[in-house]
Amino acid sequence: MSDLSIRNSARAWLWPFFLILAALFLYCNGLLNEDIFSPDAVRIAMDGAYFHDLLRDAPIFNLYDYTIHYYARYPAVSLGFREPFFQFILGILYHIFGISMSVAKLGVLIFAAIGIIFFYKLVENIYGRIAAILSSLLFITAPFLVRFTWIPMLEMPALAMSLATIYYFYRYVELKDKKALGLFFVIFALSLWTKRLTWFIFIFCALYLTVAGGWRLFVKKEALRWLALFMLMITPLIVISAWLGEPTIKRAAPLAKVAVTADAVKSQAAIRTVALPKGFVMRVPDFIYYLKALYKFNLTLPVVALSLAGAILAIFKRDRRAILFACWIIAVYITMISIR
């Protein structure tokens, strides 16, 4: 490799490095604070402890019995109900740094850094460096993103894996990068092992290939071989979900059937429901709920305004580059509405 190519490679990674550095100033708030009041976060951290002990004890010939006894000793373990990839990474980090909530938060920060890199690279590939820098600054300062880096939850790892998956999908379909094909399928499988909600990528890919074209790229022999590997990778997840996930959901379902009075809706400023006469609540349509949630809980008003202005401009100019993000938004929206 020549000196010029080395310098160009270093320059290409310079801005992602500065963006990650800026993000850490926001995301490291409370990193050393061991107090966590989210039961889900505690369970995810405990799942990481299971993998820590599993890697240490290596019960190769009695894995099932080992897991059953582990569940009996530590009922906070939620594997089976939750996808285990992030927790497996936590198990490795626990081996390096020790078991603590701070290390669990560190795992989230690592995935946040990965997400920033792939977001920057994706936008840079589509719109150029200036747009990538500015949009990445908005991305890393989004309120919902900052919140999810403070506790060990699966949202940030799932977002990072989704960004990586879509990045390699774009490189394969639009830039004809053959190496990206295998990475797309492998990372997509790992995304599903991180959080099942990433199945929205199925919808995204179908929408994009239908609107922008490119189905022929996925009926080639090489693509079909990678698809077979992808199916092989996610089959155990499907089996585990059917075996352990459904009974857990059934046990939790009665707890979710909680009556919400009109007074409670008003006091919590809820946006999912509209209060009618006392004791009666009518649900707002789900698509309206998520529109309101975007600016109330997830994005600031200036960002929403910029997004709308960009969408209108893209439609007016018939900018084909916006198709990817439009399909992405629609796919996520369909997914979120379908699970409510």
Q: Is it the case that residue 277 has pLDDT exceeding 70?
A: no
Q: How many angstroms separate the Cα of 74 from the Cα of each of 38, 47, 79?
A: 17, 10, 12
- Closest of 265, 274, 191, 182 to residue 229, by C-alpha: 182
Over residues 157-213, the pLDDT tens digits come to 999 999 999 999 999 999 999 999 999 999 999 999 999 999 999 999 999 999 998
Number of H helices, E strands in the chain: 17, 2
Q: What are the sequence ranges of the domains in the chain?
A: 3-257
Across the range 8-29, mean pLDDT stands at 84
DSSP 241-291: IIIIIHHHHHHHHHHH-----HHHHHHTT-SSEEE-STT-EEEPPHHHHHH
- CA atoms of 122 and 114, how far apart (whole Å): 12
Q: What is the pLDDT of residue 1?
A: 53
Q: Is the pLDDT of residue 334 over 50?
A: yes
For residues 324-329, give the mean pLDDT: 94
- Scanning the structure block, which residue is given the tokens 């894996």? 161
Range from 78-82, 171-175, 205-209, 297-301 carrying the lowest mean pLDDT = 297-301
Look at residue 130 and tell me whether its pLDDT is greater than 80: yes
- Within 10 angstroms of residue 123's Cβ, the number of other Cβ atoms is 22
Confidence of residue 298 (pLDDT cuts 50, 70, 90): confident
Nearest to 43 by CA among 159, 152, 145: 152
Q: Is 81 helix (H, G, I), strand (E, B) or coil?
A: coil
Report yes or no: 271 and 289 within 8 Å, Cβ to Cβ.
yes
pTM, entire model = 0.85
* Res 280 pLDDT > 50: no
Helix (H, G, I), strand (E, B) or coil at 76: coil
Average pLDDT for the chain: 84
The residue type of 237 is L
Confidence of residue 336 (pLDDT cuts 50, 70, 90): confident
- DSSP calls for 15-67: HHHHHHHHHHHHHTTTTT------HHHHHHHHHHHHHHHHHHH--TT-HHHHH
pLDDT at 284: 53
Q: pLDDT band at 243, cuts 50/70/90?
A: confident
Kindly report which listed range (60-74, 95-109, 161-175) carries the lowest average pLDDT score: 60-74
Give 45 or 296, the one with higher predicted confidence: 45
Token pair listed for 286: 């789900």
pLDDT score for 296: 75
